[in-house]
Structure 1
Amino acid sequence: MFFGEEKNQKIAVILAVVGAISPIAGFHKFYLRQYRWGLFYLLISVILTPQPLNDFWFFSYLGVAQVASGLEAMWYFLQSEAEFQGRFSGEFASDPKLVAQTTEAIRKLDELRADGLLSEYEFEQQRRQLMGKLSK
């Protein structure tokens, strides 16, 4: 359940906040199945976190990983549920017809690019728009 397919936005925010105020960060990355980033945050929090700052009561441990965890907590919190699920739960369009239409449209765009009728920039813009429709 904890590492299930659909991720809970509130849990990710809470884990990121815990990482921001504790000496060890990266819990939220493990929850979101970003294991390399989780390990990186863990190592950075252990290596680059300074000694406890007794005068500053709220963030007693303030290091690079803790700041990054705090920023990510805000980012997760400000995302809509659909954006969060699309990014972290891997939910993409399951409609085969929509996938086939998008694939065909990208192939046509690639042909136009190969013929010199679309620039690389225009192709990439159109491709991203089509892929964005799949993830909604």
Structure 2
Amino acid sequence: MLSKPKSRKIAALIAFAGTVLPISGFHKFYLGQPLWGMLYLLLCWTPIPRIASAIEGVWYLSQKQEEFDRNFNSGLVPATSTTLTQPVAVDPAQVGAVADALRQLDSLRQEGLVSEYEFEQKRRQLLDRIA
């Protein structure tokens, strides 16, 4: 299951199911975020996971497919042929600025000020600026 692309609709359906079932967080396991899933399971006696599941279900459905793939299917969805055939003009100054930002972000991660998940999301955002 970890090597197959995740479906936005299935993730939303599992998240919405977590709002009515006594246990929520299964959508986090489906999306390859087991630590978050465990946190949801540990907090199942509170309303927090149910509310978070409802919000995330709406968030998954409101995302465009490309954004969902970027967030949850990185490396699993093949690039389109138009992306591979068109040359990309890259500004060296922009690459340098992104590289500096990545170094700072990595130092924050190493100091424990940014979680692995937050680091990965911000890293993807920074790398998307180059392309």
Kindly report which structure 2 residues correspond to 1:6-17, keeping only aligned pairs within 5 A, or say none.
6-17=5-16
Structure 1 residues 128 and 87: CA distance shift in structure 2, 3 A: closer
Equivalent position of 2:95 in the other structure: 106
Measure the CA separation in 1 of the matches of 2:38 and 2:6.
Answer: 19
Q: Deviations over 1:18-72 (max 9, x none)?
A: 1111110001000000000000001101x32xxxxxxxxxxxxxx1110110000
Q: Percent identity of the aligned residues?
A: 33
Find the residue that maps to 1:5 and give its secondary structure.
coil
Question: C-alpha separation between the residues in 2 aligned to 1:5 and 1:79?
Answer: 19
Q: TM-score, normalised by structure 2?
A: 0.62
8 Å contact from structure 1 (residues 102, 130) kept in 2: no
> What is the rounded CA distance, in whole Å, between the counterparts of 2:128 and 2:61 in structure 1?
21
Q: Distance in 1 between matches of 2:65 and 2:20?
A: 25
Amino acid corresponding to residue 14 of structure 2 in structure 1: L
In the superposition, relative to structure 1, how do residues 111 and 80 fare at CA in structure 2: closer, same or farther (>3 Å)? closer
Asked whether the 8 Å contact 2:12–2:60 carries over to 1, the reply is yes
Instruction: Tell me the CA shift for residue 111 of structure 1.
Output: 9.5
Q: Is the counterpart of residue 84 in structure 1 residue 71 in structure 2?
A: no
Residue 16 of structure 1 deviates from its aligned partner by 0.2
Unaligned runs of 5+ in 1: 49-62, 114-126
- SS of match in other structure, 1:82: helix
Mapped to 2, the partners of 1:28 and 1:21 lie a distance apart of 13
CA–CA distance in structure 2, aligned partners of residues 31 and 7 of structure 1: 8
Matched pairs, number: 102
Unaligned runs of at least 5 residues, structure 2: 102-122
Using a 3 Å threshold, how does the CA distance of structure 1 residues 89 and 44 change in structure 2: closer, same or farther?
A: same
Write the distance in 1 (CA, Å) between the matches of 2:99 and 2:23: 50
TM-score (norm 1): 0.60
Is the radius of gyration larger for structure 1 or structure 2? 1
Q: Distance in 1 between matches of 2:99 and 2:64?
A: 36
Change in Cα spacing, 1:102 to 1:131, as seen in structure 2 (3 Å) is: farther
Cα distance in structure 2, aligned partners of 1:111 and 1:81: 27
Partners in 1 of 2:100 and 2:2 — Cα distance? Answer: 43
Q: Indicate the RMSD between aligned Cα atoms, in angstroms.
A: 3.6
